[in-house]
Amino acid sequence: TGEVCFNTSLTGYQEIISDPSYAGQIINFTFPHIGNVGTNNEDCESDKIWTRGVIFNSEITNPSNYRSLRTLDEWLKKHRVVGITGLDTRGLTNFIRDKGAPKGTISNNKKGNFNLKKLINTSIKWPGLKGLDLAQTVTTSKKYVWKGFKTWKKEKGFEKNKKKSLRIVAIDYGIKKNILRYFSNFDCEVIVVPCKLSADEIIKIKPDGIFLSNGPGDPEETGKYAIEIIQKLIKSNIPIFGICLG
């Protein structure tokens, strides 16, 4: 059960499903051929999958890609992500666009016996994302230094950044690994910190810049503690920038 949203991307489904920004949500993919490049161990945006479920138009395509290690179906089962196929995903996208994101439940029964009334009530009773601070759920539990890997390149994979020209503190509201990799491309040392770490503790790290990451949930709830921290950081005159929730 989760909030049903949509994504219109033609590629990058593994990165999308593993993006912590989708915590609490069921992703409806408009593109019909999902799974055609399989999955691998390199394209996940986080160590844990927070997505509640996925909706596809067609049965998962057999992979045809030299990087593929397992099918999307196998990968979803490994990470215990439920999915459903055979829906008009473009029609559902139009509905979401016009009416807003509904609550939804995906259920599995080997015998095909479903109590529809019970499933509908499950969706109705789910509280939704409003008033829900999911940043605290997906954030890192402790401060860590990013390993320094750059973005992936054919034949080279993930090269490691050996230069550390700038120090960036990334406040983790649900950060994606590829953002950290891009910082490495620009010779940055990145220290990732929990979303509720105090401004004083962040300033002690002596960063050249502070990055406010992407993240899931209700921004108003996250803002109840994040805004005060950010206001203190602004007074320090350290450059601040952000993406999405940040």
Residue 155: predicted pLDDT: 81
Q: Which residues contact 45 (CB under 8 A, 6 or more apart)?
A: 15, 18, 19, 20, 176, 177, 178
CA distance 200 to 229: 9
Residues of the chain with pLDDT under 50: none
Residues forming beta bridges with residue 3, ordered by sequence position? 25, 103
Asked if 96 contacts 26 with a C-beta cutoff of 8 angstroms, the reply is no
What is the side-by-side order of every strand in the sheet holding 25-29?
82-84, 53-55, 25-29, 2-7, 103-104
CB distance 149 to 171 below 8 Å: no
The tens digit of pLDDT for each residue in 224-236 reads 999 999 999 999 9
* Cβ(179)–Cβ(214) below 8 Å: yes
Contact 246, 193 (CB under 8 A): no
pLDDT at 12: 95
Looking at residue 32, what is its pLDDT?
Answer: 92
Q: Which domains does the chain have, with CATH numbers?
A: 2-125 (3.50.30.20), 135-242 (3.40.50.880)
pLDDT in tens, 162-206: 888 999 999 999 999 999 999 999 999 999 999 999 999 999 999
Separation CA 139–CA 206 (nearest Å): 21
Record the pTM.
0.93
